[in-house]
A and B are shown apart, each in its own frame.
Chain A
């Protein structure tokens, strides 16, 4: 492991975070809030820490997979650790663990909150909360690759470690151009959403923060009652549609730009994704209508909630905890599925689910016909066996992490529903869970230990397990101590 190069890059990254904090600082100054000072202090701390890390330069310039994973894991941890400082310094969140949980929840685009009264928070902190979603959605390092003038070829290792989905492809031959295209598409879609929300009568500040939260599929809202608080059917529909859009693989948008729109619509993953949304919306609407809710409202609420959960955003337009059990279970299952690979959403990812389903079918077929040779196809192309194996082991790892986390959380002594769903919602980066931590509740009552475990789960879920696991392996121990 080349520590010098990792720490050197990490230093530059902290300076980038300092630069990013200038935005909430500006918001703080605009609204004349005292919290602006907290941001200023944090920026100074970040600048000092960044420059200290940058002192040592590495002679070897090559980056390998393990450095890539290590850098990504450390970056996300440190970004969250420093990103929590404004909350802590300004005493808006007096407990540092709470502030850390909130920031991790922001960067990983989860949207679980420990805040009991969101509306009383200073505007600049609310903006920072939403902005962390925006940065974390497409990825911190992808952003850095897009803006830094020089990137080496091996930066692909970093992109791979950070991008969601089983395989990462470039859109164009240069990584930097790819990163810029992704961010370009991302920013334009966010801008369109801001304009649409503003046009529907939402205040500008709320339009911006909600658009950020939607773009990153995060789910922090500036109101205690989430989107329900605006009681605007227009906002619900617009957000519902955009949550679906941000859960789609961004490569498809590039295909549309490159005038291969037909090819994009043929995407197998997209069809499954839309299929899941349609089927779940149908089931929930049906059940709600039968339990004496008006049809139009049922359809709207069902669609909003399904799109919010499958894209792992976590906005709520109604307290679904009062829905019939069938609906709740549908939403619970959607949490696992998540959005498409290469989107800003979390979860296991549609493409993995598709491969898992197909490989299960193959195993069953093989049981009847042991000598038959079957290949698994995705997007019309036969899939590499290595890929199938890695997806299968991803699921195992995912289940193991989930089981261990549930066990640790159970020490807290909360109910069965809360213990299990808190881990599920955090690992899949959704946000709200069920019961006491459902749409009307929050995570404030958990112990510090639980919060740390859940923060780890959020990071593990966002970075797709491997980078976070690297922190527990012998690879990170310097050779002289190993």
Chain B
């Protein structure tokens, strides 16, 4: 697919990398020559130096024949303008990053009257993600499929965990729960484990199951944590604002800390139920004064990664149960090495949203069957939801007779609202929804999983 990406900030670069890897024809536009040069050197894309709101530049980038334009420059207005220009030049679909909360209420207007197909607000999506994690604190990350029927949760196996040194085929026998371990991250490598795989200390494992099964499994292995009531948020930026808004609906005690007095006042005006504190959230004395040791959760959301990491580490040392760290740079492996379990990065959240849209677009063009796509374990693992077409060649054949790539796992089958965790004798039927997990392999159609 021919895609134009305007603005090579963190989100633009993440998207460019991902889309180029998936084999799309990507043209990147940025005003900085050095950024363009770097991107062209690293990824297989074409770069154009210029402003995305210039008709000449858009024309040069091929806006006439482009299928999709993604505008993610710093400026909301420029993004909207760029999308409208491209649309009138002939680009079929447009995605704009719009972050200003003032525009958030006008999303429908932008979509219907201006014709922007998708509005992405990375901060809001990130806040949404964090809110979900806080609701299910027992795990590092949670994603849900099939309208919430199936969930994928990620936990880190500590030394006291009974799963330690246990091969996977024994787990189901021992705990008698319908759960499946679908991906294991050890160090920087991610594997889709077979039954003989032995789980080791410090592995980060992704488990699928229904919500109730997962909850009881978590309880059985002793990682279930209690409900989080007291949340401390450091940094009152946009994510902090959205998060407080989302959490205050669920009657939790929220402390929001920010340095800027004017900002604090504004936040207090729009967030009735939240305790807003004006002070330096990275200051140890202030955190102690606010009794950090009594918090259930700490969310570090300042604009500086290093500060977030330091604050999170301090919270760990004070035994805060759930520490969530926002990191803009994807130096994932080292962060988990130093003990930060839950890491959220806005551009990955927004990136996976857009990738999902792109895949859906491609599917509608090629009539494939992906419903949703999730990126897990820092983008290294993908979970995809497919619907099985009627009269497919692999229909009604037991799994043990199908030749499926070893790095692919069929996690569950949803048939008429019922969830099946497939074994060797199960089959796929037309109209089923199946969830497939893969590490690194690009799957666009169910046919792609067979050897």
- A residues whose Cβ falls under 8 Å from a Cβ of B: 65, 151-157, 170, 172-177, 384
Of B40-48, B106-114, B170-178, B276-284, which stretch is located at the interface? B40-48
- Are A153 and B20 in contact, with the CB atoms below 8 A? yes
- Are B42 and A170 in contact, with the CB atoms below 8 A? no
- Are A154 and B25 in contact, with the CB atoms below 8 A? no
B27 contacts which of A154, A173, A176 (Cβ < 8 Å)?
A173
Give the residues in chain A near B44, CB-CB below 8 Å: 151-153, 155-156, 173-176
Bound state CA distance, A155 and B33, in angstroms?
20
Answer yes or no: B26 CB below 8 A from chain A CBs.
yes
- Are B46 and A384 in contact, with the CB atoms below 8 A? no
B46 contacts which of A154, A157, A173, A176 (Cβ < 8 Å)?
A173
Name the prevailing secondary structure of the B interface residues.
mixed
- Are B40 and A65 in contact, with the CB atoms below 8 A? no
Known: A173-B27, A174-B25. A153 touches B33 (CB 8 A): no
Residues of B35-69 whose CB lies within 8 A of A: 40-46
Known: A170-B40, A384-B33. A153 touches B25 (CB 8 A): no
Q: Distance in Å from the Cβ of A62 to the closest Cβ of chain B?
A: 9
A172 contacts which of B25, B40, B41 (Cβ < 8 Å)?
B25
Give the residues in chain B near A177, CB-CB below 8 Å: 25
Residues of B17-37 whose CB lies within 8 A of A: 20, 25-27, 33
The list of the 8 closest CB pairs from A to B, nearest first, reads A173-B46, A153-B44, A153-B43, A173-B25, A170-B46, A175-B44, A173-B45, A156-B41
Known: A153-B20, A384-B33. A172 touches B46 (CB 8 A): yes
Q: Distance in Å from the Cβ of B388 to the closest Cβ of chain A?
A: 30
Q: What is the number of residues of chain B that contact chain A, defined by CB distance less than 8 Å?
A: 13
Bound state CA distance, A106 and B30, in angstroms?
41
Q: Distance in Å from the Cβ of B94 to the closest Cβ of chain A?
A: 19
Bound state CA distance, A176 and B20, in angstroms?
13
Bound state CA distance, A174 and B44, in angstroms?
6
Q: Distance in Å from the Cβ of B68 to the closest Cβ of chain A?
A: 13
**What residue of chain B has the Cβ atom nearest to residue A65's Cβ?**
B41
Give the residues in chain B near A175, CB-CB below 8 Å: 44
- Are B27 and A153 in contact, with the CB atoms below 8 A? no
Give the residues in chain B near A173, CB-CB below 8 Å: 2, 25-27, 44-46
Q: Distance in Å from the Cβ of B43 to the closest Cβ of chain A?
A: 4
Q: Can you report 12 residue pairs joining A to B where beta carbons are below 8 Å apart?
A: A153-B41, A153-B42, A153-B44, A154-B41, A157-B41, A170-B40, A170-B46, A172-B25, A172-B46, A173-B45, A177-B25, A384-B33
Give the residues in chain B near A155, CB-CB below 8 Å: 44
Bound state CA distance, A153 and B20, in angstroms?
8
A156 contacts which of B2, B27, B40 (Cβ < 8 Å)?
B40
Give the residues in chain B near A153, CB-CB below 8 Å: 20, 41-45
**What residue of chain A has the Cβ atom nearest to residue B40's Cβ?**
A156
Bound state CA distance, A384 and B40, in angstroms?
17
Q: Distance in Å from the Cβ of B15 to the closest Cβ of chain A?
A: 14
Q: A170-B40, A173-B2 are in contact. List 20 more A-B contacts (CB 8 A).
A: A151-B44, A153-B20, A153-B41, A153-B42, A153-B44, A153-B45, A154-B41, A154-B42, A155-B44, A156-B41, A157-B41, A172-B25, A173-B25, A173-B26, A173-B27, A173-B45, A173-B46, A174-B44, A174-B45, A176-B44
Bound state CA distance, A156 and B46, in angstroms?
11
Q: Distance in Å from the Cβ of B35 to the closest Cβ of chain A?
A: 13
Bound state CA distance, A305 and B21, in angstroms?
48
Give the residues in chain A near B42, CB-CB below 8 Å: 153-154
Q: Distance in Å from the Cβ of A149 to the closest Cβ of chain B?
A: 12
Bound state CA distance, A155 and B20, in angstroms?
14
Bound state CA distance, A175 and B45, in angstroms?
7
**What residue of chain A has the Cβ atom nearest to residue B33's Cβ?**
A384
Give the residues in chain A near B2, CB-CB below 8 Å: 173
Q: Distance in Å from the Cβ of A255 to the closest Cβ of chain B?
A: 11
Bound state CA distance, A281 and B1, in angstroms?
48
Residues of B48-98 whose CB lies within 8 A of A: none
Taking each of B25, B33, B40, which has the highest tally of chain A beta carbons within 10 Å of its own beta carbon?
B40
**What residue of chain B has the Cβ atom nearest to residue A387's Cβ?**
B33
Bound state CA distance, A188 and B11, in angstroms?
42
Taking each of B27, B42, B44, which has the highest tally of chain A beta carbons within 10 Å of its own beta carbon?
B44
Q: Distance in Å from the Cβ of A259 to the closest Cβ of chain B?
A: 11
Give the residues in chain B near A176, CB-CB below 8 Å: 44
Bound state CA distance, A237 and B278, in angstroms?
83
Q: Distance in Å from the Cβ of B419 to the closest Cβ of chain A?
A: 38
Give the residues in chain A near B33, CB-CB below 8 Å: 384
**What residue of chain A has the Cβ atom nearest to residue B4's Cβ?**
A173
Bound state CA distance, A170 and B2, in angstroms?
15
Bound state CA distance, A359 and B171, in angstroms?
73
Taking each of A152, A153, A175, which has the highest tally of chain B beta carbons within 10 Å of its own beta carbon?
A153
Q: Distance in Å from the Cβ of A183 to the closest Cβ of chain B?
A: 17
Taking each of B20, B26, B33, B43, which has the highest tally of chain A beta carbons within 10 Å of its own beta carbon?
B43
Taking each of A151, A174, A384, which has the highest tally of chain B beta carbons within 10 Å of its own beta carbon?
A174
Q: Distance in Å from the Cβ of A162 to the closest Cβ of chain B?
A: 15
Give the residues in chain B near A174, CB-CB below 8 Å: 25, 44-45
Give the residues in chain A near B26, CB-CB below 8 Å: 173
Give the residues in chain A near B40, CB-CB below 8 Å: 156, 170
Give the residues in chain A near B27, CB-CB below 8 Å: 173
Give the residues in chain A near B43, CB-CB below 8 Å: 153
Give the residues in chain A near B25, CB-CB below 8 Å: 172-174, 177
Taking each of A151, A154, A173, which has the highest tally of chain B beta carbons within 10 Å of its own beta carbon?
A173
Q: Distance in Å from the Cβ of B139 to the closest Cβ of chain A?
A: 32
